Amino acid sequence: MDFLNRSINWSLSAAFLAVILVSQPLSGQISQTQMEKLQRAVQFIEFAYIEKLEDEKIVEDAIRGILSELDPHSVYLSADELRRANEPLEGSFEGIGIQFNIVNDTIVVISPIPGGPSEKVGLMPGDKIVRINGESSYGSKISNQFVQDRLRGERGSVVEVSVYRMGVSELLDFSITRDRIPINSVDAAFMATPEVGYIKLNRFARTSMREYREASQKLLDQGMKHLILDLNYNSGGYLDVAKDLTDQFLDRGKLIVYTEGQASPTQEFMSTFRGNFKEGKLVVLINEGSASASEILAGAVQDWDRGLIVGRRSFGKGLVQRPFELPDGSAIRLTTAQYHTPTGRSIQKPYDEGDAEDYYRDLSERLSSGELVSPENISFPDSLKFYTKKNQRVVYGGGGIMPDYFIPIDTNMVSEFYSRLLRRGILNNFGIEYTNRHRSSLNERFPDVESFIDGFSVDSAIMDEMYSYANEQGITDEGEEQSEEVVEFMQNQVKALIARNLFDISAFTQVVMQMDNAFLKAVELIEDDTFEKLNIHYIQN
């Protein structure tokens, strides 16, 4: 069946190419004989195929078929797919501006985005949206797509929503004028210790440098001398943003990354005098979900001995995609070059052309092979050995960035009971409902995140409430004894979720980090003499 599907894709690909080549041969790259072959294939399909094919579908399937045989990252995007794919990187979308969650088939407002349309009309955390433009918005039909289809829309257009608010007997009706809503790429920024700052970046988007500068300056004003930059699960983004962020840390005139490809001349990207953190200790957190732009930054920091990399081997996405726009607003993102770190390491992990499924299965194979648990399960041949620019420390190529300090996945924090709670969204939903019931008293007791972290604890009474809530949803521990570590971890998760619903995502991260081994290791490395022993470049303030 796979062979048949592939054959159909290639037939459609031939049809597409033939149509193009009839009007404009590709500078002799395809011979006249092959052009005639493609044209004949089109004629056969038009004359003899069992049913009439739509032109648009033929062309789209043809393009997808061609690109699927090249590499895992060359893709075709329809105009709508392109718009949705670009939203996170462009840093905005158009809608009503809320963070929401679906709890028991109901849309619950986590928080209105500050300055957005929903905040302006008075939507509040905990509000339940039960009607959108007169249509009921609860029940089994509710999904993230349902919500986005109805709440996102053209800037200036109006959406009518009805909400249930705890303590109010009647539904509240709101007319909300959609507007441009920012998508933040800095999830959190806070002081981990009196001298160590922490910034978590989730993508390299158009707004990332502005957000980074604002966050880092705020921390510098609070006394930051050293920095932990968290790129865990950051899948990348724009190359120029990766270059600009890396430039914040390197001295002037350092190679950040270079690209080269068959049709793309070698291009080098250098650091400049600009940047607000060229001094101080730097730790970059990465894991198997860190890719592309994240790997560019981590590779440059490591190669120049500017800081230490902590975590697990990154994804290994070192292929450069260049967009080519098509007449109907769609586009091809075509791989044109490879990224290389300053020492010459290729970031890209190996792949077989046309086998994207096997390529992405690599992450599950890392788990089964034990790589995510122990670095001893990773083998690097001597041919992939490189040396850092300043201290001649050994680093390895062959795909992804291997950290200086490996942090295994902590399997001790996971139990079957916890997994069921997570899969069913019990912890998340309980955090929302607990916060909504106690919001007034919590706001009165804890005016800011720091007072909440210091003064609020998830005690046995709150955990009993959570267990009862889970039981009502049909989730029990089924006699499984929960270790002290698992219970402590669940308490931390519940506290973090309450913090998110009371404050924001940054508060959630600040609480979660208290039990994050990579974060704790980063703080330890900065506070002990590791940087001095390894002669890692930094200037003591």
Active site residue ranges: 292, 303, 317
Residue type, 509: T
Distances (CA, A) of 435 to 38, 170, 504, 506: 64, 22, 13, 17
Number of Cβ within 10 Å of residue 279's Cβ equals 16
Task: Return the half-sphere exposure (C-beta side, CA atoms, 13 A cut-off) of residue 3.
Answer: 0
Residue type for position 390: K
Instruction: Compute how many other C-beta atoms are within 10 angstroms of the C-beta atom of residue 134.
Output: 7
Which two structure tokens, joined as six digits, stand for 30? 């395809």
Residues linked to residue 268 through DSSP beta bridges, in sequence order: 258
What 185-188 contacts at long range (C-beta under 8 Å, 24+ apart), as own/partner pairs, is 185/91, 185/211, 185/237, 186/211, 186/212, 186/215, 187/505, 187/506, 187/509, 188/230, 188/505, 188/506, 188/508, 188/509, 188/510
* CA atoms of 412 and 482, how far apart (whole Å): 11
For residue 188, give both structure tokens: 């959190």
Strand partners for 259: 267, 339
In sequence order, what are the residues at sequence separation of 6 or more whose Cβ sits closer than 8 angstroms to the Cβ of residue 245?
Answer: 201, 204, 208, 209, 212, 297
Q: How far apart are CA 286 and CA 311, in angstroms?
A: 5
Could you give the C-alpha distances from 344 to 38, 303, 336, 395, in angstroms and in order? 41, 9, 18, 11
245-255 CB burial, b ≥16 within 10 A, e <16: bbbbbbeeebb
R_g of the chain computed on alpha carbons: 26
Tokens of 252: 């002037």
Inter-residue contact 373 to 380 (CB < 8 Å):
no
DSSP string, 119-135: HHHT--TT-EEEEETTE
How far apart are alpha carbons 472 and 426 in whole angstroms?
10
- Look up tokens 């069992």; give the residue: 50
Write down the H helix ranges in 313-391: 356-360, 362-369
**CA angle centred on 362, ends 358 and 368, rounded to 5°:** 120
List for the chain the helix, strand, coil content (%; round to 5): 40, 20, 35
